[in-house]
Amino acid sequence: MTKLFVICGHGAGDPGACANGYQEAERVRALGKRIKELGGNNVMLGDVNRNYYADNGISSLTISKDYQIVELHMDSAAATARGAHVIIKGGLNPDKYDTALAKFVSGMFPGRSVTISKRGDLANPARAYAKGYGYRLIECGFISNAEDVKVFNGGIDKLAKGILECFGIKETKPVLSKPQIKPTAAKPKPTTPKKQTVTLPKTAKEWRVYKTNIAPIIGNECGKLKPSKFGGLTYEILAKPQKDVVTIQTQDYGKVNIYVGKGTGAIIK
């Protein structure tokens, strides 16, 4: 059976394209992890903490030749540009996997007249060819297009399953074991301290977020929340690492720090 090696584009400090409140590197990693979860042992997920383009990771791969490589990306252009496509090495003809992928992703993200592109100016297709690996890069729609982003976010499972099916890999069903119930002695219910929340007002168009291991100063931000778009945003405060800085868990950027000092309009309760 064909197996899949998944590379998530960018990363290791490179966010890729950024638009509509999202980062390309984060979104394709969410997709890559779902492909691995659904594909089980038939899928190997490349190290999500590295940038396989910048560090020439394909050239040092030692996987067996029954693996096919898929590199995940999202495109960026004018806000009206739409559609997905598959990129292969220039000079090669698309194989059955390329053809199936192009048909599937262009159906989910319509908009391109050419759904398989041959490129001679990209390093990773050439690196994979030199190693003898089957390789293709998928641009999963445009992160700069609001509709493509909506389809991607709402259909990650559909996208992951479709990619697997193009390689003949069926979804792995988890084996559930019967839980063993053991009698336990009654314990007094512990008291938990009251949790605090922080509300970012709906009047704020943007709110910078910072990685927890980086000083929360302008220029170090890893992204921006958009409170006004959602009528304000409220988060549970996980920690207070320093004065006027709190740690929160976000959907798009994970665990981050934000500045909530006097004058920002942030409300802590």
- Same domain (yes/no): 158, 229: no
- Beta strand spans in 76-192 (E): 85-89, 116-119, 134-142
- Predicted confidence (pLDDT) per residue in 101-130, tens digit: 999 999 999 999 999 999 999 999 999 999
The answer to whether position 105 is within a domain reads yes
CATH number, domain containing residue 30: 3.40.630.40
Is the pLDDT at 192 greater than 70? The verdict is no
Q: Please, are residues 38 and 171 in contact by the beta-carbon 8 Å criterion?
A: yes
Q: Residue 185: its pLDDT value, please?
A: 64
- Same domain (yes/no): 21, 143: yes
Residue span of the structural domain in which 126 resides: 3-166
Q: Please, are residues 28 and 72 in contact by the beta-carbon 8 Å criterion?
A: yes
- Same domain (yes/no): 207, 141: no
- Same domain (yes/no): 104, 218: no
* pLDDT class of 199 with cuts at 50, 70, 90: very high
* Residues 109, 111: Cα–Cα separation, whole Å: 7
The answer to whether position 179 is within a domain reads no
Q: Residue 177: its pLDDT value, please?
A: 57
> Among residues 27, 22, 24, 28, which one has the least CA distance to residue 226?
22
Among 144, 166, 188, identify where a domain stops: 166
* Residues 190, 193: Cα–Cα separation, whole Å: 10
- pTM of the complete model beyond 0.75: no
* pLDDT class of 188 with cuts at 50, 70, 90: low
Return the percentage of the chain with pLDDT > 70, whole number.
Answer: 93
Q: How many domains does the chain have?
A: 2
* Residues 190, 165: Cα–Cα separation, whole Å: 48
The answer to whether position 176 is within a domain reads no
Mutual angle of helices 156-166 and 146-154, in 10-degree steps: 80
* pLDDT class of 263 with cuts at 50, 70, 90: confident
- Same domain (yes/no): 143, 258: no
Mean pLDDT of the chain: 92
- Predicted confidence (pLDDT) per residue in 47-84, tens digit: 999 999 999 999 999 999 999 999 999 999 999 999 99
* pLDDT class of 195 with cuts at 50, 70, 90: confident
- Predicted confidence (pLDDT) per residue in 133-187, tens digit: 999 999 999 999 999 999 999 999 999 999 999 999 998 876 555 666 666 666 6
| Cβ atoms within 10 Å of 173's Cβ, excluding its own | 8
Q: What is the chain's alpha carbon radius of gyration, rounded to the nearest angstrom? A: 22
| Local structure of 42: helix, strand or coil | helix
The answer to whether position 46 is within a domain reads yes
| Cβ atoms within 10 Å of 197's Cβ, excluding its own | 13
| Cβ atoms within 10 Å of 24's Cβ, excluding its own | 25
- Same domain (yes/no): 203, 242: yes
